[in-house]
């Protein structure tokens, strides 16, 4: 969730998929959004260059209709400094990051915003307000989780990684929601039956490795209809999840190996490291979104580029209209 290192020059042909490396997934998302109305979005504390510029670019592209929540004088001063025009956007005054987060959540709860977007405040501050039991954005019975949507030159399909930002050490019950949230997002992104790889360090069930037990249980729960809409397999190591060659060497056969659409990681640490390794060493671009809430929450790093924020907004638009189809 930070500025993409320009690695395109060094990435040529991927040995697994055998085609020239390029970014294709995110362009498709943006193209699909061109025929959809902008969604009203509470942008919470956009008081950095990239946060405000990303907001303006997303609005210019017709993705969002922003309401800026923060210190009005500071936002106008920043806009003048970086040369962007925010005069047509609604502004809600907030003196502090905490107050801005609370007001952003209130806009979503009241129906005045169809999505919420993190600006330059800390993730914990925003999510603390979003996850309050009585005044937040929780749905009863649904766990909130995060998904990184990856556009990876060395992989010829959309790749979703979950959860790398919200649930630190999820239990089995949490993982049921994490997987279902990701499957629902995959549907919104145009993947009708996503293949879900439940990651661990090994491909066999080992009672001493909890992630392998969870993976086995999740697969059986999917067999029994407790998780729907996707094809699950696990435990799988990362190599067998994304490489048919690796799976063949290990003698693994399943509809998921080598072609996973969703990587469900054991915990936040492993997911966060995996996503950032793909970004910095694999040249991937990424978008971030929080699922399972009343509205999509566009969750990016304070250091993310305006381009990443733009793509994250596109993901939120597609998710919103998957959940609320346009009538007629």
pLDDT tens for each residue of 93-119:
999 999 999 999 999 999 999 999 999
On the question of pLDDT at 159 being above 80, the answer is: yes
Please indicate, yes or no, whether residues 186 and 125 belong to a single structural domain of this protein.
no
Q: Are residues 86 and 30 in the same domain?
A: no
Report pLDDT digits (tens) over 220-237.
Answer: 999 999 999 999 999 999
| Phi and psi, residue 74, nearest 5° | -65, -40
CATH number at residue 22: 3.40.718.10
In this prediction, residue 22 carries a pLDDT of 60
The pTM (predicted TM-score) of the whole model is 0.90
Cα separation of 304 and 60, whole Å? 19
Residues 53 and 119 both lie in one domain: yes
Indicate whether 88 pLDDT > 90: yes
Name the pLDDT band for 327 (thresholds 50, 70, 90): confident
Q: Are residues 304 and 165 in the same domain?
A: no
Distance between CA atoms of residues 253 and 143, nearest Å: 32
Q: Which residue has the higher pLDDT, 3 or 151?
A: 151
Residues 103 and 185 in one domain: no
CATH for 112: 3.40.50.10950
Residues 193 and 47 reside in one and the same domain: no
Report the candidate in 230, 227, 252, 223 with the shortest Cα–Cα distance to residue 239: 252
**Residue 169 shares a structural domain with residue 61:** no
Angle CA(271)–CA(55)–CA(153) in degrees, nearest 5? Answer: 40
- What are the tens digits of pLDDT across the range 127-150? 999 999 889 998 867 899 999 999
**Is residue 188 scored above 90 in pLDDT?**
yes
Q: 151: how many CB neighbours lie within 10 A of its CB?
A: 23
Residues 224 and 312 grouped into a single domain: no
Residues 230-248 have a mean pLDDT of 97
* Segment 180-199 mean pLDDT: 97
Looking at the structure, tell me whether residues 203 and 250 fall in a common domain.
yes
Residue 25 pLDDT grade (very low, low, confident, very high; cuts 50, 70, 90): confident
User: In this model, does residue 123 exceed pLDDT 50?
Assistant: yes
- Amino acid 300: pLDDT: 79
Is the same domain home to 6 and 104? no
Residue 101 lies in domain: 37-138+295-328
Same domain flag for 92 and 234: no
Using 50, 70 and 90 to split pLDDT, how confident is the model at 248? very high
Are the C-beta atoms of residues 119 and 43 closer than 8 Å to each other?
Answer: yes
Mean pLDDT, the chain, whole residue set: 91
16-25, 52-61, 109-118, 159-168, range with the lowest pLDDT: 16-25
Total tally of structural domains belonging to the chain: 2
Q: Would you state the pLDDT for residue 216?
A: 98
**Which residues lie closer than 8 Å to 118 by C-beta, 6 or more apart?**
44, 45, 126, 297, 298, 299, 300
pLDDT-derived band of residue 9, with 50, 70 and 90 as boundaries? very low
Do 68 and 75 touch, CB atoms closer than 8 A? yes
3-state SS record for 103-142? HHHHHHHCCCCCEEEECCCCHHHHHHHHCCCCCCCECCCC
Percent of the chain with pLDDT over 90: 81
Q: How confident is the model at residue 11 (pLDDT cuts 50, 70, 90)?
A: very low
Considering the domain architecture, whether residues 163 and 242 belong to the same structural domain is answered as yes
Q: Residue 288 above 90 pLDDT? A: yes
Whether 113 contacts 40, CB under 8 Å: yes
pLDDT at 23 (0 to 100): 65
């Amino acid at each position: 969730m930070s500025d993409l290192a320009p690695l395109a020059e060094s990435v040529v042909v991927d040995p697994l998929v055998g085609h020239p490396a390029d970014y294709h997934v995110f362009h498709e998302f943006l193209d699909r959004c061109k025929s959809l109305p902008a969604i009203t979005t509470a942008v919470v504390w956009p008081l950095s260059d990239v946060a405000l510029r990303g907001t303006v670019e997303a609005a210019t592209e017709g993705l969002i209709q922003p309401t800026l929540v923060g210190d009005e004088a500071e936002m106008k001063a920043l806009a003048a400094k970086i040369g962007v025009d925010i005069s047509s956007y609604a502004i809600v005054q907030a003196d502090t990051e905490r107050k801005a987060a609370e007001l952003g959540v209130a806009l979503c709860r009241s129906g005045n915003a169809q999505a919420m977007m993190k600006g330059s405040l800390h993730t914990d501050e925003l999510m603390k307000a979003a996850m309050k039991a009585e005044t937040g954005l929780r749905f009863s019975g649904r766990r909130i989780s995060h998904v990184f949507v990856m556009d990876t030159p060395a992989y010829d399909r959309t790749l979703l990684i979950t959860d790398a930002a919200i649930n630190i050490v999820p239990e089995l019950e949490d993982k049921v929601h994490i997987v279902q949230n990701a499957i629902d997002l995959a549907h919104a992104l145009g993947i009708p039956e996503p293949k879900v790889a439940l990651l661990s360090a090994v491909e066999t069930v080992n009672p001493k490795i909890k992630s392998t037990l969870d993976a086995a249980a999740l697969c059986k729960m999917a067999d029994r209809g407790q998780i729907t809409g996707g094809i699950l397999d696990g435990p799988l190591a990362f190599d067998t999840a994304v490489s048919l060659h690796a799976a063949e060497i290990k003698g693994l056969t399943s509809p998921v190996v080598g072609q996973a659409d969703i990587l469900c990681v054991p915990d936040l640490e492993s997911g966060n490291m995996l996503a950032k390794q793909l970004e910095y060493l694999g040249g991937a671009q990424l978008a971030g979104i929080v699922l399972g809430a009343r509205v999509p929450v566009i969750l990016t790093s304070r250091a993310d580029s305006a381009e990443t924020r733009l793509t994250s907004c596109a993901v939120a638009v597609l998710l919103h209209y998957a959940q609320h189809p346009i009538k007629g």
